[in-house]
Structure 1
Amino acid sequence: MATALSKEILPPAAGIVAPAVGNREKPVITIEAGRKWAGFDLADLWQHRDLFLFLTWRDVKVRYKQTVLGAGWAILQPFLTMVLFTLIFGRLAKVPSDGIPYPIFAYAGLLPWSFFSNAVTNSGNSLVGNAALITKVYFPRMVIPGAAVGAGLVDMAIAATILIAMMAWYGIAIGPSLLMVVPLVFITAIFALAVGMWMSGLNVKYRDVRYALPFFVQIWMYATPIIYPIDFVPARWRWLLVLNPLTGMIEGYRSALFGRPFAWGHLAVSAALSVIALIYAAYSFKQMERDFADVI
C-alpha cells in the first residue's frame, strides 16, 4: 500500500514569489514598474544618503590614488590654466578685465568653471564606470552622477585656497558680498548635476558621448565669460551670452569676490535655466533608467 509523504510548504523568501501549486492564483507579491514620471523620489534618495557619501568619498580617493601630488592636482589644473591665460590673453592680447588684475580675474572664473567641467565629464561617464554595481544592486541611479558632482565640490574647496591667497596678495578685502558664494555654488552644482545626469544616461545607450563630451565642454568654455568680461562682447550679441546659464554664475562669483554690484537679471536667468535643466534631465533620466541594466 502506497503511503503519501507529507511535504512542508515553506514561506517564500523576501522579494521572491512562490508559484501556486495546482491552481493559477495571483502571487502574493507583485513587482510592478514605477510610474512613467516620478520626478525626484526624495524619500528614496534620502534613504540612500549613506551610499551617496560613500560613492563621493570613493571617487575622491580613486581620483588621486597612486599619484605623487595627490589632491594638489585640484589646485594645479586651474592655477596653471590661469598662468597660461594671463600670458596669452592678459599680456599679449590685452583682453580687458574690468580694472581687476587679470590673474585673479581669470582665476575667479576658472575656479567654478573647472568644477563644472570636471563634474560634467566625470558624472557623464559615471554610469558606464559603475556597470557592475548597476546590474547587481538596486538603488536610485541618480546617486551615481550625483556622487561625481559631490566629489567635484571637494576639489573646488581645495582649489579655493589659491584664490584666497591671491586675494590677500592683491589686497582685495573680503566683504559681506562674499556670502553670495554659497547660493552661487548651489546653483552651479544644480546645473552641473543636470547636464552630467543627462549625459550619463545618454552615454549608456550611445557610447559616442564619452568622446564628444570633452570637445563639447571645451567649446563651451569659450562661450562663457571666463577669459573676458561680458562687456567685451558687442551689445547686440550679449543676450546670446546671457542665455548660457554659466554667464550669470561667473559674473556672480566675481561680484561676490570683488564687492561689485550684482547683475541680478543675469543671475535670475541662470537660476531659472538651471532649475529647468534639472527638471528636464531628471525626466529624461527616468525614461532611460528602465533600460540601464539591459544595455550597459
Structure 2
Amino acid sequence: MLAQDDDPDIRTAVASNAGAFWVALSEPARSRMTFDEHPSVRAAVLKSISTLDHVFGGLEISAAALDHMIKTGNSETWRTLAARYGELPIAILEQLANTGDAPTAVLVAKDYYTKGDLLVRLAGSNNRNVVEAVASRLRSGDPRGNDDAVRKALIRNPHAPELFLRQVACGGTKDEDMINLAIKHPNFPESMLIGFAEGTDQQRIMAAASSRNPKAVAAVAANEHASLEALTYVAVHGGQGAREALLVNKKTPPELLLRLIEETPGR
C-alpha cells in the first residue's frame, strides 16, 4: 500500500493528494499517517487538513491521531486544527485551548461545540482577543454560549468588551448583580454611566454611584431623583465635586447637609 511505502517521498505524495488521502484511504490509514516518522509526511497531512472543505459530522481522523498532532505539533498545527469549525470533539478543543497559544484559543472560543466549563475558562482569559471571541457569541445570541456562568466570567474580566457590557446593562439579563457589575466595570462607557447617574432608575443610579467614576458620582450627587441611599453613599465615598453637588441639591436631606457642612474644612 502506497500510504505505507518505505519511501517517505511516496508517502508524502499520498498525504498531499486530497483525493487519495480523504477518499482512497480509510480513517485508520489516515490516522496512522499522522504518526509517520518523517516530517514531510506529517506536514503533508496537515496541509491536506487545512485545504479540506467543511466536513459535516466531524473530521475523519481518530481522536488519538489528533491528540498526537497536538502534543507533537506547533502553533501552525494547533491553529490549523482549531480552524476546523464544528468538526472536533470537545476533548480535542480543550487540548487545543491548553496549548497556551492565543490565536488557537480564539478559534476554539468561536467553535460551535465549545461550551460549558471550557467556554467559562476562555471567558476568563487574560488575552483581549480571546475574551472578545467569547463575548461575540453572546452578542450574536448563540444558545450554546448563552450561559450565566460565561457572562459572570466575562463581567469580572478586565478585558470585557464595551459592547458586551452595554448589552448586559440594557436588558441582556435580569440578574441585578450582573447589571451592577457591568455598569461598574472600568470598560463601561462613561457617557452611558453618566446617563444612568442622571436618570430615574434607582438600581442604575446606585450602580453609577458605586462605580467610583468622579463624573458619574458627581452626577448622582446632583440628581434630585437619587435615593437617600445613593446620596449618602456619594457623600461618604465621593470627592470634592460630589460634596459640592450635594450641597446645592434640593433633595439632599437636612441631616446629610449638616454633616457635609461640619466636615467642610475651614467652616
TM bin, normalised by shorter chain, reads: under 0.3
> Quick one: higher RCO (CA 8 Å, sep 6+), 1 or 2?
1
Relative to the length of structure 2, the TM-score reads 0.19
* Greater Rg over alpha carbons, structure: 2
Relative to the length of structure 1, the TM-score reads 0.17
